[in-house]
Structure 1
């Protein structure tokens, strides 16, 4: 092996040997880089994990969907002080959306019991959700057994129910519940289907795994009577026509425009601010912006640690140059050029910083795992963050090694030889 490659290998060997002679000093010098790189990798992993979690939740909602929810009017408004309070979305709102908002592909709406009511047999609490057949498509619900609600169920106001996965399991265990009958406060219902486990909340108001779904027409006809009976004797009575309207926009790029149109359309009819518009697409864009800002903040914090580590390396290299002044004079007297001296000390600085970078990467791999184990917080370590951290540590070695290396190279050989 000869030429530039052999020269480079020799420089690395010399630099490594020189650093190993003063092990303790070298270790102390790289500690700042170790913790700096470790903090960069760890914080980027935590930030990436949090970002992935938020983005996953928003994608489950569906970026091409817009969700309208009825909410209780703010305290202090005129509507919130009425004894018989009617608020939220209405069938008239639904008709306006269908007639006046272009770009809607699929739409579904729900009516719900405002409090949990126990089902018979094993007395499992579950919210009853009256909805339309399109609810399944809007919220990406899969059927495990049987079927979902149909248009015929809606037309005939059928007493049928589709159970969430957890409800079916709690009621019937491993048995197939399809075809069985359940008793509910509003009457008997025949089970026609069971949902596949969804795992957590979706855009729906409740966790679908713990909900039961019936035709909206049946809910409007039968559940309202249950609510009135339950409210008998109370000083106030609340009524909501529709709890949620969800629709999918035909073109993803049109989502912001359609959302703005929906807000303008409904605002005059809801002065009490008794509904909210949820646009996962907008939330996803905000989450991406927050991720970028968060990454910059975390990177800046890690950068401060690396700055401290770089200053430590520079101080150690300056001390090394002073200790090896006579050696520098001898090498210059034997014919070494200034760039030889510069390169030698620069390589030592880079080897020192890169060693700290490798150790810091190890620390950055361990800390996120501990965070995940102790707090159940999701962390994501990417190859890009590891490569970036190593490159930054090498850059720190170059930047903070230039001054000591140039100082060594600019020494007068005669004065260096006289140094004791």
Structure 2
């Protein structure tokens, strides 16, 4: 149940309970007041009739002497000079009795209590209608309040998802709108402040990373030139290999920094996915088993798609074991190796830069899958990593249809 309906239900229940409690209170108070008034009025009447009986010796105005219908407890309570009243319900109806003792006899008077009960029933009908109206009104008010709050929170959640996706222009406070300074507005301002702080830190981190990688390019260029001028030999080969690795690492760091800006845009062109993957996969890994189940033409960025495929195959080669199977099925491309599988931290949180899985002594710097995931995000594709039941590691790239490409 959504928050909207929870609030609506809570307000409706509270409204009904309050209305019922007030109605019961009014009903009981009015019924008690009616009974008290009836007892008091009947006592005054019997006193008047008792004085008239003493004066004339006759019963008047419906009073009776030693009426056998007088309730036994009322007869016992009525003694000389003492007036007693009682409210009794019989088959004939509800009556209010009054009795007073006089000279060993009991003078009594019975009056119909029906009109008072009719008034109470009329009041009850009004109270029922009022309670129903209060319940309906409270329910509608709860729905209105819950809908407004739910709508604002949904907008806040949508804005927060845009922020988490890397859109720096979205602010939760502006998205939920309104001039009220309630808890939703406070939450929105807190999320905006947190997003701004995180974006500032990420921007500073990206800028430092990009600056370091950029500054390394100049000395690396000179180092590469100097290494090429070294005389042939084992040490020269080692130096040239390490310089090449350092240069590749610098380029990868620069690519990660560019992807972190969330400003990269794909250069789209139509690509026959089956033929494209077959040629690239066999070029990167000649022993790869490539199968095209369903070929299709997709609008994508060939350079970025090639980068993703190369990094997935490189990861499978370094950390997995053959055979490496590449399958194209419509807009889906899978790379499956038969090694130990992806590490748990990658399955939980996705690729993390400079954190490798599998054998710590394996080559690489943990940037390959990070770059693949970043390039997939630029293409609007979905890249997932799983360990299938049959073993190994399975990377699945789901390319978007043309209308979903950013």
| TM > 0.5 fold call | no
Q: Which entry has the higher C-alpha Rg, 1 or 2?
A: 2
Taking structure 1 as the reference length, what is the TM-score of the superposition? Answer: 0.25
Larger RCO: 1 or 2 (CA < 8 Å, sep 6+): 1
TM superposition score normalised by structure 2: 0.25
